[in-house]
Amino acid sequence: MKLVAGSLRLLICALREIFDESAYERFLLRHKLPRSRATYAQFLREQELTKARRPRCC
Amino acid sequence: MRILRILIWLAIGVLGALALATIALRRGESINAMWLVVAALCTYALGYRFYSKFIAAKVLVLDAHRATPAEHLENGRDFVPTNKWVVFGHHFAAIAGPGPLVGPVLAAQFGYLPGTLWILAGAVFGGCVQDFVILLFSVRRDGKSLTEIAREEIGRVGGLVAYAAIIGIIVILLGVCALVVVNALKASPWGTFTIAMTMPIAMLMGIYLRRLRPGKVLETSLLGFVLVLLAIWGGQWASQNPEIGKWFTFTAPTLAILIILYGFAASALPVWLLLAPRDYLSTFVKLGTIAMLAIGIVGLRPTLHMPALTRFIDGSGPVFAGKIFPFAFITIACGAISGFHSLISSGTTPKLIRREPEARMIGYGAMMAESMVAIMATIAACVLQPGTYFAINSPAGIVGQAPEAAAATISNWGFPVTATEMHSLAQAVGEQTLYNRTGGAPAFAVGMAHIFSNSLGGQAVMALWYHFAIMFEALFILTVLDAGTRVGRFMIQDALGHLWKPLGRTSSYPSILTTSALIVLAWGYFLWQGVRDPLGGINSLWPLFGIANQLLATVALCVATTIIIKMGKARYAVVTLAPLCWLVSVTFTASWHKMFDPNPRIGFLSHAQSLASGTATNARLIFNDRMDTVVTGILITMVSLILIESTLEWARVISGRKEARVKESPFVATQFAAEEQV
């Protein structure tokens, strides 16, 4: 049971990382900002500089 | 305990050998797909346990005490120490693209054996090694990119060539990807409706994410996925409605123009509105569908109807012309080794790795998972009756336009199929016709629909599964297309910025529009060439893409070999030198054939000549052939330059004329090792 719960937690962590939810949390933590539309827009602007430059693989 | 471990590994070895012998030696009877799965799993297990461990311990000497850039440069943005399984998932999601699905489906024209053997051997000894060593070398250089590493370790020419090769491969890749989508959606109102709907759905997701639930990406992706499922269901209604069906029924040239316009818009529109939500949606669907396919294959354990080897090993194949060597190897591309992975391995991933030894599991392991996806694609193609497979994948220029003529030609090859069977199949999947759908995607979708419908829902839902599969492929191919166009735009802007600063401003609208137009026109040219080609386009363009991709892997392996020699490990350089030599022989031979082969179905120049000497001279097709020859020639020349420069560097270091010194970042001790001991 412990193993299943641990694996599920890990899966959710991986999904949150893949889908940039963790990156947003870190952004809020780094800038000590609350979760809001304005801070998410700010996060997206920062992401645009890095994420949009990453190639998707073939 | 030790004896038990030895016995377990011996059992894995024996089982793997038995499975490989079964798939290699059985002739004249169908085999179960599980033999391929067992052979693959045992090969990967042995490769990971023994070969990657040898590379990690003897060649790279992974250091558990050395801090990674994620630790000593941690900034909470790019450099973030992350759990190894999370990085594994992130890395796999980044490297898994349409290549390992399309390539093996096309290569199935030789039978299931050549493709399967190359996917396994190529991954274990080539692709996994490349991804692993480049990832580690990037980690030891603070996450530098392949072009930066090439410039530092080989020289300026190396860096320049890597840069030009990347631009070249992106342009060809995007043109070919777009062609695969066009061939899957032409005259298919259901598929076109579904894919068209993903654009407003993505925009809706973008707005939902920005205005209503900021940062809730998983929730938004799930919502987007539900809407996409509704769009698939709605596609059936649209295709059956004579009035609406007409709006979504397009010819290949019209679809090509629409995709070119889409690529331009996606590159110029704000990222949050279209590109980012489509990327999330595509990743969501991609990971889910790959997992579903794996479960479906293991659950159904289908029989492979394709023989181990077909008559087309002689080079006369209808899907693409050319013999097994070198064409099977460049066609499979990403499922065995992909140069593009070296860009990911020297991009985001090295900045997330927490401990140096984890590079083995992430670099080597994720490529094994990608290779398994290629095995699943092979299975999906080979569960089809061979006659059906060839009817879908053969261009009209080879088998004829009329259903009866095509069925007769394919049956004469020894793969029986009737026009009635093909008509019934097309009706079962909700299409008007399945003939001449070159590109691999429709054949893969039919195979996948066969596996899914036999596992869940039966024949009644085959059409829904088929269009789910088409949506899945088209969605993430279009994601590669819009992200690639944007990346290409940034690369051109960077390069132009060196000539004249204002052109390099990434936020300047005139610069955005000009560079987007440049990159879209470049891949749009190849797409247009493909849709106007009477042989289906894939025959000339997929090999060109395979050559470009494998040449990029050649560049990565040149860099890796140079570093290994400079590390004083020349005696182990064979781990990267062997796949490098193989790739050089494959890509250079394939390039030679594509340029100069006297068979007009293979050689670009002989094809141009045959058109010129015929009555129906077509200046456009002749120009395309000559252009393809020039592009192949440029790619080969660039890689020859980097090979020569690398070889000279190796000779200088081995002979002692140059000091063997790698340009790694200084050693910093990790704090994590101490924390783990406490």
Each residue's pLDDT tens digit, B256-268: 999 999 988 887 7
A8 touches B at CB < 8 Å: no
> Cβ B97–A58 below 8 Å, yes or no?
yes
Check residue B336 and give its pLDDT: 97
Q: Is the pLDDT of residue B112 over 90?
A: yes
Which pLDDT tens digit goes with each residue over A25-47? 999 999 999 999 999 999 988 88
For residue B490, which residues of chain A lie inside 8 Å, CB to CB? 52-53
Local structure of residue B82 (DSSP, 8 states): B
Alpha-carbon gap, residue B223 to B208, rounded angstroms? 10
Q: What part of B 217-236 touches A (C-beta under 8 Å)? A: 217-218, 221
> Cβ A21–B218 below 8 Å, yes or no?
yes
Q: Do residues B316 and B527 touch, judged by C-beta distance below 8 A?
A: no
B485 touches A at CB < 8 Å: no
Check residue B340 and give its pLDDT: 86
SS3 readout for B255-276: HHHHHHHHHHHHHHCCCCCCHH
Q: Which of B197-206, B221-230, B262-271 has the lowest mean pLDDT?
A: B262-271
Q: Mapping DSSP to helix (H, G, I), strand (E, B) and coil, where does residue B139 land?
A: helix
Q: Is the pLDDT of residue B241 over 70?
A: yes
- H-run or E-run covering A44: helix A37-50
For residue A33, which residues of chain B lie inside 8 Å, CB to CB? none
Largest CA distance in chain A: 42
Q: Which structural domain range is residue B89 located in? A: 2-187+250-654
A3 touches B at CB < 8 Å: no
Local structure of residue B504 (DSSP, 8 states): G
Sequence-ordered list of residues with C-beta below 8 angstroms from that of B658, at least 6 positions apart, any chain: B649, B652
Long-range contacts, B307-312 (Cβ 8 Å, 24+): B307/B27, B307/B28, B307/B111, B307/B112, B307/B386, B308/B23, B308/B24, B308/B26, B308/B27, B308/B111, B308/B112, B308/B113, B309/B110, B309/B111, B309/B113, B309/B114, B310/B109, B310/B110, B310/B111, B310/B386, B311/B413, B311/B414, B312/B109, B312/B110
Alpha-carbon gap, residue B446 to B430, rounded angstroms? 11
Tell me what ipTM this predicted complex has: 0.90
Compute the CA torsion angle B310, B315, B320, B326 (nearest 10 deg). Answer: 100
**Mean pLDDT across chain B:** 92
> Cβ B78–A21 below 8 Å, yes or no?
no
Average of pLDDT values for B201-205? 93
Average of pLDDT values for B305-326? 95
Check residue B615 and give its pLDDT: 57
A18 touches B at CB < 8 Å: yes
- In degrees, rounded to 5, the angle at the alpha carbon of residue A15 between the alpha carbons of residues B67 and B675 is 30
A42 touches B at CB < 8 Å: no
Q: How many residues does chain B have?
A: 678
The ranges assigned to domains in chain A are 2-53
For residue B338, which residues of chain A lie inside 8 Å, CB to CB? 57-58
B480 touches A at CB < 8 Å: yes
Q: Is the pLDDT of residue B314 over 60?
A: yes
C-alpha distance from B95 to closest chain A C-alpha (Å): 5
> Cβ A57–B97 below 8 Å, yes or no?
yes
> Cβ A18–B77 below 8 Å, yes or no?
no
Q: Is the pLDDT of residue B614 over 70?
A: no
Q: Is the pLDDT of residue B375 over 90?
A: yes
Alpha-carbon gap, residue B383 to B32, rounded angstroms? 9
Q: Is the pLDDT of residue B159 over 90?
A: no
Q: In the structure, what pLDDT confidence band is assigned to residue B451 with cuts at 50, 70 and 90?
A: very high
Q: In the structure, what pLDDT confidence band is assigned to residue B504 with cuts at 50, 70 and 90?
A: confident
Alpha-carbon gap, residue B472 to B451, rounded angstroms? 15
> Cβ B95–A18 below 8 Å, yes or no?
no
For residue A26, which residues of chain B lie inside 8 Å, CB to CB? 76-77, 80
* Portion of chain B with pLDDT greater than 70, in percent: 99
Check residue B83 and give its pLDDT: 93
Q: Is the pLDDT of residue B627 over 60?
A: yes
| Interface probe with A: pick from B74, B75, B77, B351, most Cβ of A within 10 Å | B77
Q: How many domains does chain B have?
A: 1
Determine phi and psi for B355, rounding to 5 degrees. -130, 140
Sequence-ordered list of residues with C-beta below 8 angstroms from that of B578, at least 6 positions apart, any chain: B125
Check residue A52 and give its pLDDT: 66
- The closest alpha carbon to B47, from B132, B115, B120, belongs to B120
User: Residue B147: how many CA atoms within 13 Å on its side-chain side?
Assistant: 11
B290 touches A at CB < 8 Å: no
B505 touches A at CB < 8 Å: no
Check residue B677 and give its pLDDT: 67
Which pLDDT tens digit goes with each residue over B121-156? 999 999 999 999 999 999 999 999 898 899 999 888
B209 touches A at CB < 8 Å: yes
Residue of A nearest to B102 (CA): A58
CATH number at residue B116: 1.20.1740.10
Q: Is the pLDDT of residue B540 over 70?
A: yes
